[in-house]
Amino acid sequence: MAIRPLNKAEVNTLLVKLSLSGFIAERDFKVDEQGRLWARPEVFNCLRRIPAFPEVEGESAIEPFFRRAPLA
C-alpha cells in the first residue's frame, strides 16, 4: 500500500469527525504541515471505526499516517 499525506479535504473531514466525536484538537490530535496525523491511542482506535476511511488488506487505509506518540 502506498503511503501518502492526507489532502486538505481529507484533513477537514477528519477534523470535523474527530470534533463531533468529542476529541479536542491540539490536546488529543494534531495534523502537521505535511498532512500527517499525530494522535493519542484513543483517537487512533476511534478512527479505525470511521467508515469514511475504507479497509485495505485488513487494516485501515489511513492507519499508516498515524504516529502513536503522546502529545505534549
pLDDT tens digits along 7-30:
788 788 888 888 888 999 889 988
Q: How far is CA 3 from CA 20, 23, 28, 63, 70, in A?
A: 26, 25, 23, 10, 22
What are the strands, taking DSSP E only, across 6-57?
29-31, 37-39, 55-56
Average confidence score pLDDT of the chain: 71
| Model confidence, pTM | 0.57
What's the pLDDT tens digit per position in 40-55?
888 888 877 766 555 4
